[in-house]
Amino acid sequence: MSKLRFSISMSLDGYMAGPNQSREDPLGEGGEDLHRWVFGLRAWREEHGLEGGGGDAVDERFAEAWSTDTGAFIMGRNMFGPVRGSWDSAPAWNGWWGDDPPYHTPVFVLTHHAREPVEMEGGTTFHFVTDGIESALEQARAAAGGRNVTIGGGASTIQQYLRAGLVDEMQLHVPAVLLGSGERVFDNLDGATRRFTCTELVASPTVAHYTYVRK
């Protein structure tokens, strides 16, 4: 059955991005530290067209599972880029990821500003959804053809789907990083996380992986 899920890295003090996101710092100041555990892994290197690499088997499993059986992604406007307001101010902005983004599926971007779809290399197409999170989920499910829908981020988008009770599974990867400030994952949730139960906790010496499903 198609699930709505996410799989994100979070600092031990609860942030999924650092403060002051910019073109130079897409993950905010220090935000890249959250993802350092994946950079040497075979799964991540293959995804980015690089050979070699390899790490702890547990970490490899979760790096592979980031997009497990995902047929479509959903992300917030801020995760797609630093452009604010109308797209006219930066009509050529096609995300942070170059010509071949690591999604390889349709990606539904939540925004208040309409824009035509943008087809990238490698199977990624960005669709811009202006009528809310339920509509984005509906369109993503239709596009996913029975496979899972994965929320890419950021924190605000994840919180909106959690508050609406729509998330089926969540994976948190927690390296021993302390960011001090940034975008908090578990905030503004009005108790929405009470509906989840942990199905697995496992760690490498670098990062602990928590998996939850909705009760």
Residues 6+ apart with CB under 8 A from 3: 148, 149, 168, 169
- Burial group, residue 213, by CB count within 10 angstroms (0-12, 13-18, 19+): middle
Which range touches a copy of itself (CB under 8 A), out of 113-121, 141-149, 152-160, 199-207? 199-207
β-strands 207-214, 15-17: how paired? unpaired
**Taking CB under 8 A as the rule, does residue 194 contact a copy of itself?**
yes
Query: Least distance from C-beta 203 to a copy of itself, angstroms?
Result: 4
Of the residues 2, 125, 156, 206, which one makes contact with a copy of itself according to CB under 8 A: 206
Query: Least distance from C-beta 16 to a copy of itself, angstroms?
Result: 12
Beta bridge partners of 76: 110
Of the residues 13, 69, 131, 134, which one makes contact with a copy of itself according to CB under 8 A: 13
One character per residue 83-112, x = contact with a copy of itself (rule: CB under 8 A): ------------------------------
Task: Supply 118's token pair.
Answer: 């943008």
Q: Which residues from 172-191 bind a copy of itself, rule CB under 8 A?
A: 172, 174-176, 178, 180-181, 185-186, 189, 191
Pick 65 or 208: Cβ nearer a copy of itself: 208
Site size for a copy of itself (CB under 8 A): 30
Pick 125 or 160: Cβ nearer a copy of itself: 160
Which among 113, 118, 116, 121 is positioned nearest to 83, based on CA atoms? 113
Pick 21 or 211: Cβ nearer a copy of itself: 211
Residues 6+ apart with CB under 8 A from 41: 53, 54, 55, 59, 60, 63
Rounded-to-integer distance, Cα 41 and Cα 18, Å: 23
195 SS3 class: helix
Rule CB under 8 A: which residues touch a copy of itself?
12-14, 172, 174-176, 178, 180-181, 185-186, 189, 191-194, 196, 198, 200-208, 210, 212
